[in-house]
Structure 1
Amino acid sequence: MTERIHVNQQAFEDGSSPTLGSSIATTVRNQSFSYSKDAVKDTLSQDYNTAKRALSTAPPNDAYLHWDAPGVEGIEPDDDAKAHKIADTMNKMQKHNFDKHRHAFRATHVKTQGLVKGTLAVPSDLPPHLSQRLFAHPGTYAIAARYANEPIFLQPDSEPGPRGMSIKSFNVHGERLEPPGNENLSTQDFFFNNAPIIELTDIDTCLEIMQLREKYFDSPNGLALALKSRTDAIKQHAPGMLPNTDMISHSMYTQSAFRFGEYYGHMAMFPVLPEMKEKSGETVSSSGSYSQISDWLFDYFKGAPAKYEIKIQLGTSPAHHPTEDASIVWDEATAPYQMIGTVEFPVQDSFSQERRVFWEDHMVLDPCKGLAAHRPLGSINRLRKVVYGRSQKRRDELNAKKSSDIQSIDEMP
């Protein structure tokens, strides 16, 4: 049944702008109507963004900037050296985990919460500015996805923190990044987290924070005190303030920028199905089980499918839509989300042990091996090019395993 709410002038007023909602408020003043909740939210959002756009100094939100335009990226000569220092630090944290568990994990997103197979559908009616590279080819692509906790250690699910989702799409062809060798690949990887920004900000901040995390790997209180003394303390503590709810209800964001064919942008995935959204009210309690989130995902996928809309924000200005500072939220008023496809996962076993071991010990995921038309941008992504390869190598060494770039969904259990 559609939820109904009572609407009056006060529901549309907002002190941030005297014009916000004025057209709607005038219509409903001294009257009452019944609207669906979603319709009211959509109207409010559109009215709010219209007012913000009118007040913004950003270029028109359809004046999309080319990905290699001056100012979009600012590559520094010492980026590579700093990236290797970060990789050294994260290799040390991998060794800390190995010493605890006698098993090596990835450098981040250590704890698997669910593994699913599904499809990415690209519609046939995308306008030219959205019909870019992978999304210029209508059809359905097989995908594999992993839900995970973001931290470097195996944390109990009762502890709040960032949650992530990685996707590998198959049968994707075109010019590849970083040849030789990658030209024979036919996959495209995307990484998402449940916050629109990343507190690590840029390569310099990332180096500082990773060195602190390694120093206080076994002392959460020591790390908290070290972060508290920083000028960006609020930003660094923000991940711990994320809602610790059922992951199936989370919106997921790439956080950093990527080339999108001719342009550049941020991608995100938003839950569509009501049964997904309603799980946002399920919060892991302080006394919740160590594996509460994976248990919830398992129960959900045992009885229901999942569906996300995948959307993109396209940048129009390095000042308003930067790539080098990944801690800045791109304002939806100046860079609105536009739908480019849907992701669907059918009912399935989301915690198959065979699939978990295969993914954790053998799967390679790296957007820096993807299509040239979806090149990761900004220093956070440039450091990943080094860190991911070094992390994979260290994991393989400690586990005496061999990771591989699988090229078919059928290679995954």
Structure 2
Amino acid sequence: MSQVLSIQPLPFDPAFEQVPDDEPETIRELGEAIRVIIETTYRDTGHAMRGVHAKSHGLLQGEIQILDNLPAELAQGAFARPGAFPVIMRFSTNPGDILDDNVSTPRGLGIKIMGVEGARLPGAENQVTQDFVMQNAPAFTAPTPKAFLKSLKMLSKTTDKAPSVKRAMSAILRGTEAVIEAVGAESPTIKSLGGHPETNLLGETYSTVVPLLYGLYYCKVTVVPVSAELAALTDAKVDLSGRPDGLRESVNEFFATHDGEWEVRVQLATDIEKMPVEDASAIWPEDLSPPITVARIRVSPQPAWTEARSGVVDDTLAFSPWHGLAAHRPIGGVNRSRKPVYEMSAGFRGTRNGCPMHEPQTLDGLLP
């Protein structure tokens, strides 16, 4: 027998999305800023990389198990039917250039589920994947694409500037953030500029930060480490001194001997004022709608990052919230801007590297 929800989710109304008249121009400028980043890194390295989250730290293959007996409101889209599906997880940090890990920035997680059936999003026809693109934060750093554009333009101008200065500035910002967190607050801006604490990224909770449809409703999705060994890494310090790839090394070290398990949780919106669609910076209150577990991801011990795996995941796969089912259509301005910008970035990588992006049908033989 299915469970019964303790909340009343709010059905999605198309009127919840409000598109500004100048949004196409904002999206064009966002694309130009990302283009500056990817062209700069390509000129400097001879290899095309993502405009954001260029550096990967963990490239894992595993399995996602959709739970039995979900409430009808939660048995939607990719989670409509119980069963096991192959999954790829890509852990990263957010700059578009490859920096030493002690330039400490927010972390990202891309998830690609394979074998998902159902009506598809535009541009995702004939695919069987469902992607979730996440950050280790409960909300986005800016409320709107236009607000985000200001910081992106600034970052694009510093893409290949003075790595030593970035390391020194990151140390200063980490100290500033530590002072702020000591009084029970935090600064997403300081974290995004290099002030993120030097902690193990495997202990983080990741969120879609912006909403997506969930069948008739809308939600945010989170991924939470729950196996004892992973949970113990929450806020665990990592010594990155003299270790430019220390985060990657810590992920490899962990999965050399441990498995890992995460819960996938869904926070259904219940109040349009407190859980808005167009303000991407809004933190949705969990007392109004606690995240509910709908699936579990399990990963066995494996080589978590290798050059060969990077050649597959980093160079031939793209992660986008627009790869998926119509039941999980991304909503809100930040998500609307992602579609053309992500497509441009993926196309640039495919053309420059001579290896077009593709969506896998199965995990079989995909990762070396």
Interval of TM-score (by shorter of Structure 1 and Structure 2):
0.7 to 0.9
Of 76, 89, 96, 1:152 maps to: 96
Task: Label 1:201 to 1:172 Cα distance change in 2 as closer, same or farther (>3 A).
Answer: same
Amino acid at match of 2:189: Q
1:221-258 C-alpha deviation (Å, 9 max, x unpaired): 79x8xxxxxxxx95422434433211211111111101
Is 1:188 matched with 2:130? yes
Q: Which one has the largest radius of gyration?
A: 1
Secondary structure in 1 matching 2:364: helix
Amino acid at match of 2:44: K
Secondary structure in 2 matching 1:349: coil
1:117 & 1:64 partners in 2: Cα distance?
A: 33
2:6 & 2:348 partners in 1: Cα distance?
A: 44
1:240-285 C-alpha deviation (Å, 9 max, x unpaired): 4433211211111111101011100111011111111222354233
Corresponding residue number in structure 2 for 1:41: none
1:149-178 C-alpha deviation (Å, 9 max, x unpaired): 111121211122111110110110111111
Contact 2:116 2:128 in 1 (8 A): yes
Corresponding residue number in structure 2 for 1:305: 259
Corresponding residue number in structure 2 for 1:67: 12
Corresponding residue number in structure 1 for 2:36: 92
Contact 1:258 1:265 in 2 (8 A): yes
Contact 1:158 1:284 in 2 (8 A): no
Secondary structure in 2 matching 1:279: coil
Corresponding residue number in structure 1 for 2:189: 236
Of 112, 126, 133, 2:77 maps to: 133
Of 301, 304, 316, 1:347 maps to: 301
Q: C-alpha displacement at 1:196, in angstroms? A: 1.1
1:267-317 C-alpha deviation (Å, 9 max, x unpaired): 101111111122235423352401111111101111010100110111112
Please list, as runs of the form range in 1=range in 2, the aligned pairs for 1:95-134 lying within 5 A after superposition.
Answer: 95-134=39-78
1:203 & 1:280 partners in 2: Cα distance?
A: 31
2:47 & 2:143 partners in 1: Cα distance?
A: 30
Q: C-alpha displacement at 1:104, in angstroms? A: 1.1
Task: Label 1:282 to 1:317 Cα distance change in 2 as closer, same or farther (>3 A).
Answer: closer
1:75 & 1:155 partners in 2: Cα distance?
A: 36
Amino acid at match of 1:64: P
Contact 1:258 1:374 in 2 (8 A): yes
1:268 & 1:372 partners in 2: Cα distance?
A: 19
Contact 1:123 1:138 in 2 (8 A): yes
2:197 & 2:117 partners in 1: Cα distance?
A: 38
Contact 2:190 2:196 in 1 (8 A): no
Amino acid at match of 1:187: T
TM-score by length of 1: 0.78
1:20-73 C-alpha deviation (Å, 9 max, x unpaired): xxxxxxxxxxxxxxxxxxxxxxxxxxxxxxxxxxxxxxxx97221112353x22
Corresponding residue number in structure 1 for 2:333: 379
Corresponding residue number in structure 2 for 1:404: 358
Amino acid at match of 2:59: L
Secondary structure in 1 matching 2:221: strand
Structure 2 unaligned residues grouped into runs of 5+: 170-185
Q: C-alpha displacement at 1:219, in angstroms? A: 4.5
Task: Label 1:252 to 1:155 Cα distance change in 2 as closer, same or farther (>3 A).
Answer: same
Secondary structure in 1 matching 2:349: helix
Secondary structure in 2 matching 1:405: coil
Corresponding residue number in structure 2 for 1:209: 151
Amino acid at match of 1:291: D
Structure 1 unaligned residues grouped into runs of 5+: 1-59, 225-232
Task: Label 1:387 to 1:216 Cα distance change in 2 as closer, same or farther (>3 A).
Answer: same
Q: How many residues align?
A: 343
Larger mean CA deviation between 121-130 and 282-291 belongs to 282-291
TM-score by length of 2: 0.88
Corresponding residue number in structure 2 for 1:199: 141
